[in-house]
Amino acid sequence: MKHAAVAALTLTLSLAGCAGLPRDTPPTPVPTLSVFVVAHPDDWQLFMNPDAFHAMNEPHEKAVFVHVTAGDAGKVLGGEPTPYYLAREEGALRAIRFLANAANPTAALGADSRPEGVDRAGHQVARHTYANAISYFLRIHDGNIVTGTEFQQHPLALERLRSGASAETKAIDDSARYAGWADFVATLEALVTSEMTPGTVLNLHIAELDEKRNPGDHPDHRAVAYAMEEVADRLPCARVSRHEEYATRDRRINVTGLDFMIDVGTWAATASGLSDNHAGSTWEPGHNAWVGRDYHRTQEPRGTCR
């Protein structure tokens, strides 16, 4: 009887303790890594937002932005107060800082990202950290260069690397060289996997390659998307969102409310980075036509990653 009484008392105290706990305690959020891989430093802002904002507006989320080309349009490095490619990078960094501060306006994060040079698959790459966002700049030559009033393909364009017409490509500042398409793809894979931790949900955001959905896209956009499709094949745990880009210009606005405000603010921050660094502002009708439009399809994970 004595043992039965003790057991009954223990059960009563246990139930009393449980009664003080909330019945619907929310589960701990799963860490999420979202990687936006684009050709030029203003692509994700126009074609992958507000998805970018919602990939970094919670503490358990981390967003990585990979800008593959310098977007230099063939402009020389000297002669300007600020090299054009660095003005474009500042636009991207300002956009990311805007998103981070919009997500947490009381954090007082400051106006500077933390830059560093890192090795990825044997290549030196510029990496910036700000709040829960990471930016990479590979600075590979822009595939389209301006000659007079026309665009021509650069000899080191990614599309030429992919087709085998060029045996290598390199960064505009000579910080890295890529010995063939496989070397370039391996570098992108290393960028993604270096930011992963065990148990993290992985989202990849890339350009849409289906020309019926996304006709007339930039050759750099398509080359980067082809590379990322190879990376996605190697990472079956990834959820892949494929974004339609140039073709969305004449489609209806489908981003509304607070998300539309985020979209406009992100683009304004991008444009200010160029203007403040002596480059032509992209706040004009040609570019603004893409603001407020986000068209994409998403493929769920096909398996697990090691």
Using the predicted structure, report yes or no on whether residue 107 has a pLDDT greater than 90. no
**What confidence category does residue 24 fall into, taking pLDDT thresholds of 50, 70 and 90?**
confident
pTM, 2 dp: 0.89
Query: Is residue 23 included in any domain, yes or no?
Result: no
Q: How far apart are CA 143 and CA 153, in angstroms?
A: 5
pLDDT for the residue 27? 80
* Contact status, residue 86 vs residue 71, Cβ threshold 8 Å: no
Percent of the chain beyond pLDDT 90?
Answer: 77
Structure confidence by residue, pLDDT tens digits, 226-261: 999 999 999 999 999 999 999 999 999 999 999 999
Which structural domain, as residue segments, surrounds residue 267? Answer: 32-299
Token duo for residue 148 = 């007079």
Query: Is residue 290 included in any domain, yes or no?
Result: yes
**What confidence category does residue 77 fall into, taking pLDDT thresholds of 50, 70 and 90?**
low
pLDDT for the residue 106? 85
Query: Is residue 144 included in any domain, yes or no?
Result: yes
CA dist 207 to 163, 201, 224, 248, Å?
Answer: 19, 20, 8, 12
Cβ–Cβ contacts within 10 Å for residue 287, how many?
17
> In 3D, which of 224, 230, 182 has the Cα closest to residue 206?
224
Query: Is residue 217 included in any domain, yes or no?
Result: yes
Query: Is residue 12 included in any domain, yes or no?
Result: no
Supply the Cα-derived Rg of the chain in whole angstroms: 23
> In 3D, which of 28, 27, 33 has the Cα closest to residue 239?
33
Query: Is residue 208 included in any domain, yes or no?
Result: yes
**What confidence category does residue 187 fall into, taking pLDDT thresholds of 50, 70 and 90?**
very high
- Number of domains observed in the structure of the chain: 1
13-27, 141-155, 190-204, 242-256, range with the lowest pLDDT:
13-27
* Contact status, residue 239 vs residue 202, Cβ threshold 8 Å: yes
Using the predicted structure, report yes or no on whether residue 10 has a pLDDT greater than 80. no
Token duo for residue 270 = 């991008």
Query: Is residue 123 included in any domain, yes or no?
Result: yes
Query: Is residue 170 included in any domain, yes or no?
Result: yes
**What confidence category does residue 15 fall into, taking pLDDT thresholds of 50, 70 and 90?**
very low
What is the SS3 assignment for the chain? CHHHHHHHHHHHHHHHHHHCCCCCCCCCCCCEEEEEEECCCCHHHHHCCCHHHHCCCCCCEEEEEEEEECCCCCCCCCCCCCCHHHHHHHHHHHHHHHHHHHHCCCCCCCCCCEEEEEEECCEEEEEEEECCEEEEEEEECCCEEEECCEEEECCCCHHHHHHCCCCCEEECCCCCEECCHHHHHHHHHHHHHHCCCCCCEEEEEEECCCCCCCCCCCHHHHHHHHHHHHHHHHCCCEEEEEECCHHHHHCCCCCCHHHHHHHHHHHHHHHHHHHCCCCCCCCCHHHHCCCCCCCEEEECCCCCCC
pLDDT for the residue 74? 80
Assign residue 54 the CATH number of its domain: 3.40.50
